[in-house]
Amino acid sequence: MNVNQSDKSPVCIGLLGLGNVGTGFVESIRANHDLSEKLIIKKILVKDLTKSRSLAIPDGILTSNISDIIEDSDIDIVVEVLGGEFPAAEYIEQAFMAGKHVVTANKEVVAKHGSELARTSHEHNRQFLFEASVGGGVPVINALVRDLAANQITSIKAIINGTTNYILTQMTDYSSGFSDALTQAQQLGYAEPDPANDIEGIDSTYKVAIMASLAFSGSILVDSIYREGITKLDARDFRYAHELGYSIKLLAIARRITGEVEIRVHPTLIPEAHPLAKVDGVFNAVYIEGDLVGPLLLQGRGAGPEPTSSALLSDVLAIAAAPSGDHAQLNPVLGQQPIAIRPIEQLLSGYYLRMQVLDEPGVLHKIASVFANLDISIASVIQKESDEIIGTAEIVVTTHESLEADIQVALKTLIQQDCVNNIGACIRIDL
């Protein structure tokens, strides 16, 4: 006998959504004897009652009417896996008002409405848990909320979107072009038919907003997060980066800098010795630095029905195990005060620039003078392939730590030089 095995009656769940994740959630409970005894799925909200499903659902469970769940007083916990902003956000609010706890995997809702929903849950003394919204089965939220509670978090660097990491890994390992790698990701089901949310970095902004909100105790406006996707990356840049000792990853970064927070999502060159450089394929990883703990790396499967169900169920079981009393105290603290976000122009970073120039004497001197005039310190210059027929060469410049605003001026000045045909890439380096 476990000493704290509970004699509580089973917990009733209302599940919103029966797509991939919802189906995985039901299957995960059914496959586990202990969970089946503790948790009962009383109702499931679906759009279409008549749709054929891979899963046999007993009569009376499916409903297309949200009120059947909100008004069912047997239901203790609403598990929301609808995805998308609306109606999910409204349903969650209704659930709190009806006295139910809510567990969600919905990063968009938590990122955009987390603060107000946290307030509502608090007013109704209910729990609002969202471990599954960031990093799938990787316990990122609990790490920030609970395990590092005594730390001042100084920075978070994360590979938090499996689709883009799969694509970038293909581009690294097989020198694939972006569209080939995307097509392959789509064929394997790692990328959506409309992949914009992933490849443009939007999904990562939701997740970094949630992490930063918890780490820095305030609310973050998603639209205020600087964002660049991976669509402009070229296979050459992965080759050149490797020659320079770097990997290219789509990083979500949030750092505390003297009263402000820097928060951004963009492709980044990271040294190959950094733990994040070795996180490949669909894996997610979050690298957190705290004043006491130092660096902490959490790595695992960031998506998929089973890892997501692992996180959803850990939240459900935490609610089920909690003593009665002041439930709201167990909520992650999603701050209400907006956090001041540092403009990207003030970023200090290394930079990797690839440009096509005329292959003639004096070109390097002209380019170097552009950087020198702006006090930008060059770390390396490498001449890559040259094209004798059209008389051009490709050069790659990396800088020491420089101010983003200066780099932007440098780019504008460079492109105006007669000797510069085009600038093929400008990628930040995490030094």
CB-nearer residue toward a copy of itself: 147 or 430: 147
User: What does the H/E/C string look like for the chain?
Assistant: CCCCCCCCCCEEEEEECCCHHHHHHHHHHHCCHHHHHHEEEEEEECCCCCCCCCCCCCCCCEECCCHHHHCCCCCCEEEECCCCCCCHHHHHHHHHHCCCEEEECCHHHHHHHHHHHHHHHHHCCCCEECHHHCCCCCCHHHHHHHHCCCCCEEEEEEECCHHHHHHHHHHHHHCCCHHHHHHHHHHCCCCCCCCHHHHCCHHHHHHHHHHHHHHHCCECCHHHCEECCCCCCCHHHHHHHHHCCEEEEEEEEEEEECCEEEEEEEEEEEECCCHHHHCCCCEEEEEEEECCCEEEEEEEECCCHHHHHHHHHHHHHHHHHCCCCCHHHHCCCCCCCECCECCHHHCEEEEEEEEEEECCCCHHHHHHHHHHHCCCCEEEEEEEEEECCCCEEEEEEEECCEEHHHHHHHHHHHHHCCCEEEEEEEEEECC
- Smallest gap from Cβ 297 to a copy of itself, in A, equals 4
Does residue 163 bind a copy of itself (CB under 8 A)? Answer: no
Nearest Cα neighbor of 356 from 329, 391, 395, 388 is: 395
Catalytic status, residue 207: yes
- Smallest gap from Cβ 326 to a copy of itself, in A, equals 4
Q: Contacting a copy of itself (CB under 8 A), which of 311, 341, 370, 420?
A: 311
CB-nearer residue toward a copy of itself: 172 or 310: 310
Q: Contacting a copy of itself (CB under 8 A), which of 207, 255, 327, 354?
A: 327
Pattern of binders to a copy of itself over 12-31, x per CB under 8 A? Answer: ----------------x--x
| Overall size of the chain counted in residues | 431
Pattern of binders to a copy of itself over 203-222, x per CB under 8 A? Answer: --------------x-----
Does residue 6 bind a copy of itself (CB under 8 A)? Answer: yes
CB-nearer residue toward a copy of itself: 52 or 324: 324
Q: Contacting a copy of itself (CB under 8 A), which of 63, 151, 231, 417?
A: 151
Catalytic residue among 100, 107, 207, 249: 207
Size of the site for a copy of itself (CB under 8 A): 68
Residues between 367 and 426 with contacts to a copy of itself, criterion CB under 8 A = none
Does residue 40 bind a copy of itself (CB under 8 A)? Answer: no
Does residue 150 bind a copy of itself (CB under 8 A)? Answer: yes
Residues between 230 and 249 with contacts to a copy of itself, criterion CB under 8 A = none
CA distance 427 to 279: 19
Omega cis (within 30) before 87: yes
CA distance 88 to 43: 16
The helix-helix angle for 88-97 and 107-123 (nearest 10°) equals 20
Does residue 309 bind a copy of itself (CB under 8 A)? Answer: yes
Q: Contacting a copy of itself (CB under 8 A), which of 92, 103, 118, 158?
A: 118
Residues between 332 and 371 with contacts to a copy of itself, criterion CB under 8 A = 333-337
- Smallest gap from Cβ 136 to a copy of itself, in A, equals 8
Q: Contacting a copy of itself (CB under 8 A), which of 258, 292, 388, 416?
A: 292
CB-nearer residue toward a copy of itself: 134 or 410: 134
Nearest Cα neighbor of 327 from 146, 145, 127 is: 127
CB-nearer residue toward a copy of itself: 193 or 325: 325
Greatest alpha-carbon span in the chain: 83
Residues between 258 and 277 with contacts to a copy of itself, criterion CB under 8 A = 275
Q: Contacting a copy of itself (CB under 8 A), which of 222, 244, 318, 368?
A: 318
Does residue 1 bind a copy of itself (CB under 8 A)? Answer: yes
Does residue 49 bind a copy of itself (CB under 8 A)? Answer: no
- Smallest gap from Cβ 405 to a copy of itself, in A, equals 34
Does residue 55 bind a copy of itself (CB under 8 A)? Answer: no
The answer to whether the beta carbons of residues 13 and 77 sit under 8 Å apart is yes
For 136, the token pair is 């799938």
- Smallest gap from Cβ 301 to a copy of itself, in A, equals 5
- Smallest gap from Cβ 47 to a copy of itself, in A, equals 26
Query: Under the rule (CB under 8 A), what is the footprint of a copy of itself?
Result: 1-6, 28, 31-32, 35, 118-119, 122, 131, 137-139, 142-143, 146-152, 217, 275, 278, 285, 290-301, 306-307, 309-311, 313-314, 316-318, 321-331, 333-337
The residues that are catalytic are 207
